[in-house]
Chain A
Amino acid sequence: MHPVRLLFLQFLVALAVIGIWQIGSTVEIGGDYLLPEFFFSTPVEVGKRVWQMFASGMIWKHLSITLTETVLAFFIGSAGGVVFGFWFARKPVVAAVFDPYVKMANALPRVVLAPIFMLWLGLGIWSKVALGVTLVFFIVFFNVYQGVKEVSPVVLANARMMGMNERQLFRSVYWPSALSWMFSSLHTAVGFALVGAVVGEYLGSAAGLGYLIHQAEGVFDVTGVFAGMFILAAFVLVIDWGVSGIERRLLVWRPQPAADHG
């Protein structure tokens, strides 16, 4: 499909949804509103509120807090996942011993850990970072583990025949292979880091996007809830673009689905 046409159709979907929402919440149909303003607010109101948040500058503080938590959770969780993923993949005995516990920890819905982290780490950013880390860690861990395990045996044998020692094998074979697997999970990992941050804020904090949404909900300020959600969604999109950019730069060696290479 032509990109302009695609963009137009995508825009049309947004227009239709907002149109229905606006009409449902402001036009009386048969003596009743389809979408009562109290429960659904109106797109115009939500738009105004978002504008206000940016115009007054109050949103920047919350955004930066959420961003900090996300970034910290992502990096700490990834570092842990890489280290343990490698360790387990290279030492099958360790992997076998810890296997049931890893599975157990991964099966646990991480949200239930939030209160514990709050008790241990307080209401500041670190309890949110911890929650995000528990989510990110397992994604990266499993991918790196898989990446190291699934190194092509032929590539490995070839590298050995070149005379590579363990350190060189790590640098030239295991690490790039694990990295490519890790990157395939990067979008998910970043997403989960953000989930950890927002859910943590929602459950107890004094700043951040989750906090904003929770505050608005507490006073039945539906406009505020929707405004917060909208900003959150836009925020995720921006981060996702950034991740895609990094991915493109680091994984140039991968076959592209498009006909770039002719």
Chain B
Amino acid sequence: MQTAVQRPPAHIALPDAGPLAVALNDISISFAVPGRPVFKAVAPTSLHVREGEFVSIVGPTGCGKSTLLNATAGLLRPAGGTVTVFGERLEGLNAKAGYLFQQDALMPWKTALDNVAIALEVGGTRREEARAQAKEWLRKVGLARFVDRYPHELSGGQRKRVGLAQVLVRGPKILLMDEPFGPLDAQTRQIMGTLLLNLWAQDRKAVMFVTHDLEEAIALSDRVVIMSAGPEARIIGDFPIDLARPRDTADIRLDPRFHELYRDIWNQLKAEVVKTYGEETP
């Protein structure tokens, strides 16, 4: 038994115009597994992110949220549709984007400092200069005392902070985050969320933040986008979050408006979550 989901419009209308940082136009993504029919992960769907906008993508597990980010990063070629970055069609990797991965992506053989500095050295920055900037960024994420530690000597939360510094030190125009705080405990997640918002407020990059935690999404974002359950997942809801900034990710959860928004979005998301798990129960 399936609840009839209304077919969404092909394009989700933008609340107000502004220069687009990322435009995913009718993109579809498929995976070919030998010996099986092609798996259509994402059905043709569109998403526009304006400059300086913090957009969260929420959906049930395995619905292709990360796939959407990978397509924006240029790590994955969509089967159909186009990816446009600041008005230009994306070919190859997205040089304007920084990507904070869900899993640990630090080089285990480099110290925290070198992990951050290498991001600049790759672009041709002199070593001394790169290290000075890396040190400054590690200070900003609260790791001034841990610059010489190797990743295995840091806690999960500290590694995420290094990852954040590594991404931000390059000054990307677009920030892609794939459940970056997923493996952390609840308290650390909130602290990291507040840290992220503070850093983001300084220069307001366009952010695409993937999460399965609706509360986190509302607390951080300007807009929350809902994806349907896969396969052929697509965007089925788009909610502007009109909570005042600056926000504290812990305090904001006590705001009555927060609860209203949560209820509205959850009502729509629930159907999709049930659908995913409904198919798995025997």
A155 touches B99 (CB 8 A): no
- Main secondary structure on B side of the interface with A: loop
> Contacting chain B: which of A75-83, A101-109, A247-255?
A247-255
| B101 neighbours in A (Cβ, 8 Å) | 154, 157-158
> Contacting chain B: which of A39-47, A161-169, A216-224?
A161-169
Query: In the complex, what distance in Å separates the CA atom of A158 from the CA atom of B106?
Result: 8
Please encode chain A, from 219 to 257, with 1 for each CB lying within 8 Å of some chain B CB and 0 for all others: 000000000000000000000000000000000111100
A176 touches B107 (CB 8 A): yes
Is B212 located at the chain interface by the 8 A CB criterion?
Answer: no
Is B119 located at the chain interface by the 8 A CB criterion?
Answer: yes
A173 touches B107 (CB 8 A): yes
- With CB as the reference atom, state the residue of chain B lying closest to A151: B107
A157 touches B75 (CB 8 A): yes
- With CB as the reference atom, state the residue of chain A lying closest to B170: A162
Is B122 located at the chain interface by the 8 A CB criterion?
Answer: yes
> Contacting chain A: which of B1-9, B24-32, B90-98, B225-233?
B90-98
| B106 neighbours in A (Cβ, 8 Å) | 155, 158
A172 touches B107 (CB 8 A): yes
- With CB as the reference atom, state the residue of chain A lying closest to B151: A253
Is B189 located at the chain interface by the 8 A CB criterion?
Answer: no
Is A22 located at the chain interface by the 8 A CB criterion?
Answer: no
Query: In the complex, what distance in Å separates the CA atom of A253 from the CA atom of B115?
Result: 12
Please list the residues of chain B having a beta carbon within 8 angstroms of any beta carbon in chain A: 73, 75, 93-95, 97-99, 101, 103-111, 118-119, 122-123, 150-153, 166, 170
A sample of 10 cross-chain residue pairs with beta-carbon separation below 8 angstroms, ordered by A number, consists of A154-B105, A155-B107, A157-B105, A158-B105, A158-B106, A161-B97, A162-B118, A162-B166, A163-B93, A163-B95
Q: Across chains A and B, which 3 residue pairs bring their CB atoms closest together, nearest first? A: A158-B105, A176-B109, A255-B152
